[in-house]
Amino acid sequence: MITGLDLLFLEVNSLEESLGFYEGVLGMEVESVNTDSDPPMAKVRGGQLRITLAQHLETMLRRGRGVHFFAGVEDVDRFYDELIARGADVQPPVDEGWGGRFVTLEDPDKYRFFFVTWKG
């Protein structure tokens, strides 16, 4: 039985740029960085969400294509204000008919994140 999404493992072009996004823009905690490993890796956490970043140079295919991540936030409007204060380039929250109010961001490798406050 599947119990939930435990970890995202993302290949990135630059650990430095990615850490700037995940820590600096999203406010996630950096748990570890190992630039001496093969490949160089970092681990970040936001609440229960854990992401491992592995630095691999981009292949011929564009990263992020066809993959979208939905992460819950308590108050998307407050989260939006925090993103703006951190310098994020993000549009204001929008309501959708599928039951959520959200903002969308792309990381440096074009992985798309939807930060959602679900409506009951």
Residues 90-108, mean pLDDT to the nearest whole number: 90
In total, the chain counts a number of residues equal to: 120
How high is the pLDDT of residue 6?
A: 73
54 forms beta bridges with 11, 41
pLDDT at 5: 73
Q: At residue 8, does pLDDT exceed 60?
A: yes
pLDDT at residue number 51? 94
Q: DSSP characters for the chain?
A: -------EEEEES-HHHHHIIIIIIT-PEEEEEETTSSS-EEEEEETTEEEEEEE----SSPTTTT-EEEEE-S-HHHHHHHHHHTT---PPPEEETTTEEEEEEE-TT--EEEEEEE--
Mean pLDDT of the chain: 89
Strands 112-118 and 68-72: parallel
Pairwise pLDDT comparison (79 vs 2), residue with the higher score: 79
What are the structural domains, with CATH classification, of the chain? Answer: 8-56+67-118 (3.10.180.10)
Would you state the pLDDT for residue 7? Answer: 82
pTM: 0.80
Task: For residue 52, count CB atoms less than 10 angstroms from its CB and return exposed for 0-12, middle for 13-18, buried for 19 or more.
Answer: middle
pLDDT tens digit sequence for 16-75: 999 999 999 999 999 999 999 988 999 999 998 999 999 987 665 677 777 888 899 999
Q: Quick one: pLDDT at residue 99?
A: 79
* Two tokens, residue 93: 């929250």
The closest alpha carbon to 103, from 50, 24, 84, belongs to 84
